[in-house]
Chains A and B, each alone.
Chain A
């Protein structure tokens, strides 16, 4: 850190850098650390993420697949940094395919509703579609630029020109990027210095990408054009309208929670393992297809039933079909292939997403439970519990004997000596508390090794850090929900995901505010989502050095 104290140094420059003129310019993003009020420097030309590109072509043109696969899978994986040759080639290829698909199918009217041979048709189409694709009105110069497609030598037929026009929109930088070009300034309330004010259309674009991961709808575009997104209150009102469009915000809520739960982390264990059909004769490979879908449905449902952070960890709601029913102790014959919402009863406690089949099965071994994998996930990703460095000077770890339970084996393996003890006395109890769920996720009271399951443990990693005895999974989940660090990590993840940037000292102020609200209780996920639009950095920006 540069030694800046909180509250000093506008815009994260903290005394460094020659370009801190006024408040509208700054150095790079201030490094991660305690809250330093200010608006972080942002790029003015972020590029659409692949998940956003996919939503945009669906919302604008009704395109939901390309060559039988999701559109995003055709694109080069997300990266920041300048355009590369392969990525540019792929964008062009995909744009040409989408244009051909749209013009030859039932979605054609999403782009053009008149006869391209008729006078004025293309001109109107360019302006109407362009308003939506570029998230702002096109200038006369831009319209003329698109009209050159009808003036080539040799010329295309009117239908070919129409397809080429759509193709051109889909490869335009103003489509692939989300430019923020307004130059007016405004005084930032938090830093009392000037920052650059986003235009109304730019605010609308930020709203729709934050809440829907896609372009504004007609209502939002109209609100922008009518200058109705100027104050924080106006923005919040519009955000609340948009949040209630569940079919658009729901998938974003699920996608966020997948990210928070490390499902996008290629090093994680999610959905990677099968189980031994000899030791687990009831293992149903078909259930795998339901794992992620169930979790996505769970996250969305918790949010849309006014749930809060702790409900993610405690809700008894599950989504059940004939393939995963047996895991939850339900009769498969009562279910179809489609997932349906079920409230699981307390006889076999099922608090939250960590007791759903997807997590329990993924964080197990092929032929046994793995309290280490489950415990390490909770410790590392939910609690940020750093076990500390193990003592050096390893001795041979010997584990002899037979063990009645997996827990006994793991204790003998990892808790008897250093260097293993240091980490494992932190990690293991969190996993032992889940030992009543076997490697498939089914409730068990007898271990595969023959002994009775003992899931009672003691941990100092939860809540206020004092020792707690856990006698049920519900207590474990309540403990996680009560841990300040868990709430902070959740808030941080939301801020990073929503604003599309790494944790930094400026955004930490927003994280702190959200954490305070999460701690007070009764703070629903959807309210949190709306509150993300209330930060100064949502309406104002700071430009990097020139």
Chain B
């Protein structure tokens, strides 16, 4: 069904497109808001675990125009049709890297918890995790359950930008309960945010579809909905009047606020059943064959693509401007012919250790997975590009980013992060470019390909060694902080900041310059407060990325 990716669907302007929704069980009413006149923007983040084979993922070019030719022969080849709309920021590192030397403040590159727990917890929060561990190899339980001490980017953004105050966060394999070792979405300190599955996310959109007949406000459906809401509010009030802890009363107050919400979603005029069908967005996940991601929905889509289609529909309907698609940890890609756990494969082993003889075919399998992910991202980008919006496309007004948990999965290094962005965020970002942000390190393009192929490949040692980080990029290269990139994204989305430059819903500042606990990974060692002077050392977004 390649035609569906090429067909342009004109989205008429938002002005006057106030649509009264059928008052089903949703308490949202439709009101016109001042924001209706501005061009919608949205951020979609696709997140995958366990790094990539960097030598094949990154193009040979470190800085310059990004052309289709640059992507040919790399794992990102599926993105060649969109080269002009891509942006590859290079030389970035994410925070709180695990190494064998992370034995406390002043040592190593972060906390000594676990090479997945602390990375997952810190990647979008830029906060340390708690409880801290200074014993990188210990197996004591709490360190694997450690969680960040602040909220993640999706929530910080959604608090300002989303009508619901929360992001649309989906687990693409339908995995319902992720623990601290792999969860990336935290609505507050140590509070994991639960994902929606395809059915739940899609049902939130069907409520927005433009109905063919205008709604009469005087219907039983509406009066019933109001009466039920009043019953709920009465119940909450009676509960709140009882003797209760502060914490419990706050919970009831939060529920009351949801029940009181009348502001809502301004769905775009073309948000409709027809648009959903054209995108292939629905809740009919494939149920047989392959694995949870690769199970086929139809000839051209698998389950992962279905989640991307829901993301694209959410974007086009303006249902939520903050959308995260999280791919699973510990996944067996049996649909790709890989009958081993993806975590073990990332270590080129047949077990969950970090050292040992290479398992046959590991690198080939990892390349297959990288190619699969690239295809999924390309399919998402194609859906966004296929919808016209204003003078361009939905993609032009989107920041779509594929971010990985780490650079090389065996080395679990966080420098030289593999990041690929599609869409300029409504003219904020440069596009069609690879931009090297860490020129000061003097790394060559060759060095920035990393060393993923330095073990377990013909002609290299047949021993995998994750402890030495030998398959990562050398530590001195590619260390510009991701906090700055997150500031770029927040500014592209028009977020406000407080006087210090941290995101703040009511301003007064109009530019975000500070995000997180620190933008130096070494500041995370020992946990919160252990390293004196932990702060944002390099505020502001990357000016090099701005159009």
Binding site for B on A (CB under 8 A): 41, 43-45, 67, 73-74, 76-79, 81-90, 92-93, 95-96, 141-142, 145-146, 148-149, 152-156, 160, 164, 167-168, 171-174, 177, 179, 181, 183, 264-267, 272-274, 276, 365-366, 370, 372-373, 380, 386-387, 389-390, 392, 394, 396-399, 413-414, 419-420, 423, 543-546
If A156-B220, A392-B100 touch, does A273 touch B135 (CB 8 Å cutoff)? Answer: no
Which residue of B is nearest A84, CB measured?
A: B166
**B164:A86 contact, CB within 8 angstroms:** yes
Chain A CB within 8 A of B544 CB: no
**A173:B224 contact, CB within 8 angstroms:** no
Task: Tell me the bound Cα distance from A485 to B449 in angstroms.
Answer: 49
Chain A CB within 8 A of B506 CB: no
Query: Chain B residues with Cβ under 8 A from A392's Cβ?
Result: 100, 137
Q: Which of A67, A152, A387 contacts B224 (CB 8 A)?
A: A152
**Closest chain B CB from A385 CB (angstroms):** 9
Other 12 A-B pairs with CB < 8 A, given A86-B200, A92-B26, A365-B350: A76-B200, A79-B191, A82-B254, A85-B261, A93-B26, A95-B25, A145-B235, A164-B227, A266-B175, A266-B177, A397-B356, A544-B245
**B245:A398 contact, CB within 8 angstroms:** no
Query: Chain B residues with Cβ under 8 A from A545's Cβ?
Result: 245-247
Task: Tell me the bound Cα distance from A79 to B187 in angstroms.
Answer: 11
Question: Which of B439-447, B461-469, B484-492 has 4 or more CB atoms under 8 Å from chain A?
Answer: B461-469
25 contacts between A and B (CB under 8 A): A44-B245, A45-B248, A76-B196, A79-B193, A83-B254, A84-B166, A85-B165, A85-B258, A92-B26, A141-B238, A145-B231, A152-B226, A160-B220, A164-B227, A173-B255, A264-B177, A266-B176, A266-B177, A266-B330, A386-B140, A389-B135, A420-B355, A423-B139, A543-B245, A546-B245
Which residue of B is nearest A156, CB measured?
A: B220
Task: Tell me the bound Cα distance from A79 to B244 in angstroms.
Answer: 21
**Closest chain B CB from A398 CB (angstroms):** 7
Task: Tell me the bound Cα distance from A264 to B175 in angstroms.
Answer: 11
**A386:B139 contact, CB within 8 angstroms:** yes
**A172:B235 contact, CB within 8 angstroms:** yes
Chain A CB within 8 A of B39 CB: no
**B251:A45 contact, CB within 8 angstroms:** yes
Which residue of A is nearest B139, CB measured?
A: A386
If A149-B224, A168-B231, A372-B351 touch, does A174 touch B239 (CB 8 Å cutoff)? Answer: yes
Query: Chain A residues with Cβ under 8 A from B250's Cβ?
Result: 82
Task: Tell me the bound Cα distance from A380 to B141 in angstroms.
Answer: 10
The winner among A41, A164, A265 for most chain B CB atoms within 10 A is: A164
If A386-B140, A413-B356 touch, does A77 touch B194 (CB 8 Å cutoff)? Answer: yes
Query: Chain B residues with Cβ under 8 A from A156's Cβ?
Result: 220, 223-224
In terms of DSSP, what is the predominant structure of the interface of chain A? loop
**Closest chain B CB from A2 CB (angstroms):** 15
**Closest chain A CB from B247 CB (angstroms):** 6
**A82:B329 contact, CB within 8 angstroms:** no
**A45:B239 contact, CB within 8 angstroms:** yes
Which residue of B is nearest A392, CB measured?
A: B100
If A43-B248, A154-B223 touch, does A396 touch B339 (CB 8 Å cutoff)? Answer: no
Query: Chain A residues with Cβ under 8 A from B231's Cβ?
Result: 145-146, 148-149, 168, 172
* Count of chain B residues near A, Cβ 8 A: 83
The winner among B139, B228, B248 for most chain A CB atoms within 10 A is: B228
Scan residues 189-205 of chain B and give those whose CB is less than 8 A from a CB of chain A. 191-197, 199-200, 203-204
The winner among B25, B248, B250 for most chain A CB atoms within 10 A is: B25
Which residue of A is nearest B234, CB measured?
A: A145
**B223:A266 contact, CB within 8 angstroms:** no
Q: Which of A83, A172, A366 contacts B258 (CB 8 A)?
A: A83
Chain A CB within 8 A of B357 CB: yes
Task: Tell me the bound Cα distance from A86 to B324 in angstroms.
Answer: 14
Question: Which of B89-97, B178-186, B301-309, B425-433 has 4 or more CB atoms under 8 Å from chain A?
Answer: B178-186
**A92:B25 contact, CB within 8 angstroms:** yes
**B248:A544 contact, CB within 8 angstroms:** yes
Query: Chain B residues with Cβ under 8 A from A398's Cβ?
Result: 357, 463
Task: Tell me the bound Cα distance from A386 to B135 in angstroms.
Answer: 14
**B224:A160 contact, CB within 8 angstroms:** yes
**Closest chain A CB from B350 CB (angstroms):** 7
Which residue of A is nearest B188, CB measured?
A: A81
**A419:B245 contact, CB within 8 angstroms:** no
Q: Which of A83, A153, A276, A413 contacts B255 (CB 8 A)?
A: A83
Query: Chain B residues with Cβ under 8 A from A67's Cβ?
Result: 199
Chain A CB within 8 A of B278 CB: no
Query: Chain B residues with Cβ under 8 A from A148's Cβ?
Result: 227, 230-231
